[in-house]
Structure 1
Amino acid sequence: MSKEEQVISQTDRIERSIVINAPRERVWRAIADAEEFGTWFGVNLQGLRRFEPGQKARGNITHPGYEHVVFEAVIDRVEPPTLLSYLWHPYAVEQNVDYSKEEPTLVTFTLAEAPGNGTLLTVVESGFDKVPPQRREEAFRMNSRGWEAQLQNIVRHLHG
Structure 2
Amino acid sequence: MHVSDRIERKVLLNAPRKKVWEALTDAEQFGRWFGIALKGKTFVAGETIEAPITYPGYEHVIWKAKIERILPQTRFSFSWHPFAVEKGFDYDKETPTLVEFTVEDRAPGILLRVVESGFDTVPEARRLKAFKMNSRGWDEQMRNIEGYLSHFHQGIA
TM bucket by the smaller chain?
over 0.9
Say which of 68, 91, 99 aligns to 2:91. Answer: 99
Among 32, 46, 49, the alignment partner of 1:54 is 46
Distance apart, 1:133 and its partner CA = 0.4
What residue ranges of structure 2 are gaps of 5+ in the alignment? 152-157
Aligned counterpart, 2:81: 89
Matched residue SS, 2:33: helix
Question: Taking structure 1 as the reference length, what is the TM-score of the superposition?
Answer: 0.91
Aligned: 1:73 with 2:65: yes
Mapped contact 1:76–1:86 kept (Cα < 8 A): yes
Contact 1:45/1:57 (8 A) holds in 2? no
**Amino acid of the structure 2 residue aligned with 1:17:** K
AA at the equivalent of 1:131? V
Q: Distance in 2 between matches of 1:122 and 1:32?
A: 14
Structure 1 spans left out of the alignment, 5+ residues: 1-6
Greater shift, 10-19 or 79-88, is seen at 10-19
C-alpha distance in structure 1 between counterparts of 2:47 and 2:39, whole Å:
15
Matched, 1:135 2:126: yes
Letter in 1 for 2:4: T
AA in 1 matched with 2:30: F
Cross-structure match for 2:38: 45
RMSD: 1.2
1:146 is displaced (CA, Å) by: 0.2
Q: Does 1:22 align with 2:6?
A: no
Q: 1:20-68, CA deviations, whole angstroms, 9 ceiling, x for partnerless residues?
A: 001111100000100100000000011113x221111210110111000
Matched, 1:31 2:24: yes
Match of 1:153 among 116, 127, 144: 144
The letter for the 2-side match of 1:48 is K
SS at match of 2:49: strand
Describe the SS at the equivalent of 1:11: coil
AA in 2 matched with 1:72: K
Q: In 2, distance between residues paired with 1:78 and 1:158?
A: 20
Identity of aligned residues (%): 53
Give yes or no for contact 1:58–1:70 (8 Å, CA) kept in 2.
Answer: yes
